Amino acid sequence: MIILLLLLFFTKMIAGAPSDSTVFGYIEEHQDIYVQRLKEWVSIESDSSNPEKRCQVVKMMNLTAEQLTQLGATVELVELGKQKLQNGNEIPLPPVILAEIITDPQKPTVCFYGHLDVQPAKYEDGWLTQPYTLEEKNGSMYGRGTSDDKGQVLAVLHAIEALQKHDLPMNVKFVYEGMEEVGSNGLFKLVEERNSTFFSDVDYIVITDTSWLSKKPGITYGTRGNLYFFIEVECARQDLHSGSFGGVVHEATSDLIFLLNTLADSSGRILVPGIYDAVANISNKEKEYFEKAEYNLEEIKAKFGIKNFKYNTKEEVLIQNTCYPSLSIHGIEGAFSASGTKTVIPAKVIGKFSIRLAPKMDPSVVEKQVIEYLHMKFAERNSPNRINITCVIKAKPWVSTDTDGPLYLAGKNAIKKVFNSEADFFREGGTIPIGPQFYEVTGKSTMFLGIGGPDDAHHGQNEKLDRYSEASSKYLFL
């Protein structure tokens, strides 16, 4: 209900809305239906990174379109063509939903964005419940996508449904996609193509795909970009016995481990020459935001079982996580990864790592720097193995320049009314690729107004969304 309250007060600021009590009562009565809908959505394994699950992503898009139609929206499912896979095969991209509910062309129009695809999840990864079966425990609803981002999308739809029972005081548009987790393929072009039509009468863009830093609600005004790389090294046509070949072949895995190890030093500083050149300075206003933001290092450490952060103060952690690039090694495809032992020399291995980009860093420049650096390092190794380095996700960083404008002011005031506290302003360490694209192409004021909690475990095991907010305990979090 928090998102509804936010929206309600938010629309009051920019339009004029119904009395609170009418809508609240409706929400209270419909809680269980809302949770039931989320359960249905979570059960669809819409993992966009896995080509075999593509039909599930498409199913998810169709289900959302149906839900929007029931709200009275005009819905268009825009087909975006094919996706070319690493192996050369092509599979269809899921359609993007463009939808709208126009109540009165004279009223302001808010466009909501969210995504219906999810990150991979397997019970064996360490989930305490089946990841695609919603289960509620102690007020938290567990399941892949509950918080990132199915639950947040549903919260918007439910808020609008509730507002409609009285009178929707604004026009609403929707952009919902199914490829966010792998770089929003095809959506960038669509935004350009529809800039002078679908987006022309949009006044504000609100992205509901972020989390708060703490239990204290807040607004995200910037995101990091992301470049995701594959390093493929091949030493043979098939896996070899480490007894029969150990010591006489140049092993692909050793080459890969060497390359991955050249990427950053022990402090995490990226060793690719020139990569820090474009990193922007932080303004005094932003420094103030970071100082004010509620973010309890000890709580986060305890929650996730992290022994020590690299930095000791809240400000340092927040600044490093959101305003500087970082490099993470995610894993190796093709090597032995099961439990137990296997004495194999893997024939072909694919190392996977990504670099989060700070605002002002140009993805194309960094991509070139990284690939050149790795080829240079590989040449030094003098290995006869075949190598192929590709950048498979390329998403821009972004930071808003109008945080004093009417959209942010409305959001801030709405939060103040609901929670009786100042909104935290922060940047997000993660990436929502479409944010900068909306802003740059349409020129409309854009804001991230998420409802994810700081411990919702996006992308990790046991992802959840809280049903109630601690700050406003009687209301449903949906």
| CB of 158 or CB of 356, closer to its own copies | 356
| CB of 1 or CB of 391, closer to its own copies | 391
Radius of gyration of the chain (CA): 23
Cβ count near 74 (within 10 Å): 12
Sign of CA dihedral 212, 300, 431, 120: negative
Q: What's the Cα-to-Cα distance from 351 to each of 94, 260, 402, 412, rounded to whole Å?
A: 27, 8, 39, 43
Does residue 148 carry a catalytic annotation?
Answer: no
Q: Which are the contacts of 131, defined by CB distance < 8 A and separation ≥ 6?
A: 121, 122, 123, 125, 143, 144, 461, 463
The least distance separating its own copies from the CB of residue 474, rounded to whole angstroms, comes to 29
Please tell me the distance from the alpha carbon of residue 142 to that of residue 448, in angstroms, as a whole number: 23
The least distance separating its own copies from the CB of residue 469, rounded to whole angstroms, comes to 19
In 3D space, the residue among 113, 124, 372 whose CA is nearest the CA of residue 229 turns out to be 372
Please tell me the distance from the alpha carbon of residue 280 to that of residue 283, in angstroms, as a whole number: 9
Please tell me the distance from the alpha carbon of residue 247 to that of residue 238, in angstroms, as a whole number: 17
The least distance separating its own copies from the CB of residue 321, rounded to whole angstroms, comes to 5
The least distance separating its own copies from the CB of residue 85, rounded to whole angstroms, comes to 9
Sign of CA dihedral 242, 247, 251, 253: positive
Cβ count near 381 (within 10 Å): 14
| CB of 175 or CB of 227, closer to its own copies | 227
| CB of 26 or CB of 336, closer to its own copies | 336
Q: Which of 45, 47, 161, 180 is catalytic?
A: 180
The least distance separating its own copies from the CB of residue 105, rounded to whole angstroms, comes to 38
| CB of 109 or CB of 385, closer to its own copies | 385
| CB of 110 or CB of 207, closer to its own copies | 207
Query: Exposed, middle or buried, 108 (CB in 10 Å: 0-12/13-18/19+)?
Result: middle
Instruction: Tell how far CA 196 is from the center of its chain.
Output: 27
Instruction: Tell how far CA 297 is from the center of its chain.
Output: 22
Does residue 180 carry a catalytic annotation?
Answer: yes
| CB of 72 or CB of 268, closer to its own copies | 268
Q: Which of 117, 149, 203, 209 is catalytic?
A: 117
The least distance separating its own copies from the CB of residue 325, rounded to whole angstroms, comes to 7
The least distance separating its own copies from the CB of residue 343, rounded to whole angstroms, comes to 6
Q: What's the Cα-to-Cα distance from 471 to each of 20, 240, 474, rounded to whole Å?
A: 18, 58, 9
Sign of CA dihedral 459, 462, 464, 470: negative
Q: Which residues are catalytic?
A: 117, 180
